[in-house]
A and B are shown apart, each in its own frame.
Chain A
Amino acid sequence: EPEVTQTPSHQVTQMGQEVILRCVPISNHLYFYWYRQILGQKVEFLVSFYNNEISEKSEIFDDQFSVERPDGSNFTLKIRSTKLEDSAMYFCASRQTGFSNQPQHFGDGTRLSIL
């Protein structure tokens, strides 16, 4: 069964450094998402992406965050100047169409640890 793949599985970064999290969505999916989950808390929506542009973003997704689809397969989340509170699991998800009754499929996540 096709999967969403994320790399790296664990990223350790010094505060203030830039970090890029990578995702390869399922190949025939058109809608892409990033979520984060701080330890012990709920999964929170960050941003959605369709047709090479941001469709929706939450209040968490401020100017330090950016997303990009640099080629036909990768979807990246960049955090420009990391803060301690950015430590979390980051999940990429994809959905085949824009119909809300289609489920989103999640990758295994990247654990980001900011020191």
Chain B
Amino acid sequence: QKEVEQNSGPLSVPEGAIASLNCTYSDRGSQSFFWYRQYSGKSPELIMSIYSNGDKEDGRFTAQLNKASQYVSLLIRDSQPSDSATYLCAVNPPLGTGGGADGLTFGKGTHLIIQP
């Protein structure tokens, strides 16, 4: 059973501070990891993807991956009120499973609130 775990929150962070979102996954062979942002009533919007251990930075966002610990995180620097949303961690199964067409396994998401 593939599991992706996230703290549901809400996580409340002051404007301008760093928001730290965490995710753990159960399938040790998982290869690709994605962070999506979802505003209430809207669809998931891709924020970051990461495949290799270490950090990956894109603007105010940094994704971190530790495959040994089966842990993925997302840091949002200089948090803005517009960053208030639910952040979904999604995991792709191991390479070779399903011929590349496998569905993503999502966590329940962390509700982030940026306080002005």
Could you tell me which A residues sit within 8 Å of B by CB distance? Answer: 31, 33, 35, 41-50, 55-56, 58, 89, 91, 97-101, 103-109
Contact = CB atoms under 8 A, between A and B. Distances in A.
B108 A106 contact: no
B101 interface: yes
A49 to B, nearest CB: 7
Contacts of B99: 50, 55, 98
B43 A45 contact: no
Given A43-B44, A56-B98, A108-B43, A101 B32 contact: yes
B46 interface: yes
A16 B12 CA distance: 43
A35 B95 contact: no
A91 B103 contact: no
A91 B46 CA distance: 14
B25 interface: no
Contact of A105 (B46, B93, B100): B46
25 contacts: A35-B104, A42-B88, A42-B106, A43-B90, A43-B104, A45-B106, A47-B103, A50-B100, A50-B101, A55-B101, A56-B98, A56-B102, A58-B103, A89-B43, A91-B43, A98-B99, A98-B101, A99-B100, A100-B100, A100-B102, A101-B49, A104-B46, A104-B104, A107-B43, A108-B42
